[in-house]
Structure 1
């Protein structure tokens, strides 16, 4: 075993890396849960025929997509603290930013799933005497969920990977822990960075690959012809 690789297993280094990974996953899962709760109704609203409502939804969606997540992190963590006098932790600021981003993306996924449902599904349900609300609840939403779930799982993977940005606002996640281990052993293990970052890559892989695999399986199984 190369001496630089041994550093990973010395003391609590591996446990610290796993703890940092849990911080990343926790931020992503909490943000994703909030995004689903807020994104589902937002997506339904985006299908509205009201031009003003559609314009406002589109403005929000495009603003979030154009603005880099890193800039949003800085705005919420640094500027919002000054302007509103709030004392936000890095983890809470990260959850807020990823929820803002996730809600916009989730809403657009919901909108796309609803609008992709064949028109005859609406017409058949209305011919059976269902009200518009009943059509949405009993026909459209169940069909949309079958398309939406694989995409939601995929969005979760993207969110987990994007949490690496929170290191720049002081959150001690897996990448920050890796940097701390490398800096503390810079002279004794000068080439350890390759191994440490390799372990970080592997940790992200073992978390994200099963989620990506599940997304592909669901998409293949539930694809609506």
Structure 2
């Protein structure tokens, strides 16, 4: 199976370091996406004509354009067109934040739109002002509806970071390819074992997050 290659030198440590690079990019992108996505989602819920048109164009770009193309545009295009010395890691964070913000904003907009109007009216009739209505009535419901979906976005972002190897970032998949190439003659079947271990690494990184999402969904359904 080629698993013996992992015992040579520090190959396994290199894979773990590569995975840490992917997780770091994912974590930073997720934090930025949540902050910007919540703000944009609230603005979208206001149904301002200008904001609606701009946000719709933004969402369509994110949905239609593959992440790999966006990576190439930001990393290679910005350096030549804007003369910006952008690192591959920074370009990756920009692209994943750009994608994640759109996804998060759509979740926030959908969550706000799903709250019945009668809840706003009932809160006002009880003497709550607009701020108190959102703080005590609307926001707690939105959080309960959004968290499971947001967690699913995190797992998708972790898996999609494998694309960053295309712009030269040495993450776990790139490290695996380097190990396979270095041992091609001595261990021609190493590819299967290496990619199996990489699969298990991604699984172990995403599975607890996925289980947390299912647990919260079941808990809050009752």
Is TM > 0.5 for Structure 1 vs Structure 2?
A: yes
Aligned to 1:55: 53
Aligned to 2:165: 167
Q: Could you tell me how far 1:53 is from its partner in structure 2?
A: 1.7
Cα distance in 2 for residues equivalent to 1:71 and 1:177: 22
Aligned to 1:148: 146
Aligned to 1:31: 29
Q: Could you tell me how far 1:138 is from its partner in structure 2?
A: 2.8
Cα distance in 2 for residues equivalent to 1:177 and 1:84: 31
Pairwise CA RMSD:
1.2
Q: Could you tell me how far 1:57 is from its partner in structure 2?
A: 1.2
Aligned to 2:14: 16
Deviations 1:72-126 (A, max 9, x none): 1000000011111111111110000000000000000111111112332112112
Deviations 1:158-179 (A, max 9, x none): 0000000001000000000000
Cα distance in 2 for residues equivalent to 1:107 and 1:202: 31
Cα distance in 2 for residues equivalent to 1:127 and 1:49: 24
Cα distance in 2 for residues equivalent to 1:142 and 1:12: 48
Cα distance in 1 for residues equivalent to 2:188 and 2:205: 28
List gaps (5 residues or longer) in structure 2: none
SS in 2 for 1:88: coil
Aligned to 2:79: 81
TM-score of the superposition, structure 1-length normalised?
0.95
List gaps (5 residues or longer) in structure 1: none
Aligned to 1:7: 5
Aligned to 2:104: 106
SS in 2 for 1:76: helix
Does residue 136 in structure 1 map to residue 134 in structure 2? yes
- Which of 37, 49, 67 aligns to 1:69? It is 67
Cα distance in 1 for residues equivalent to 2:169 and 2:7: 23
Aligned to 2:216: 218
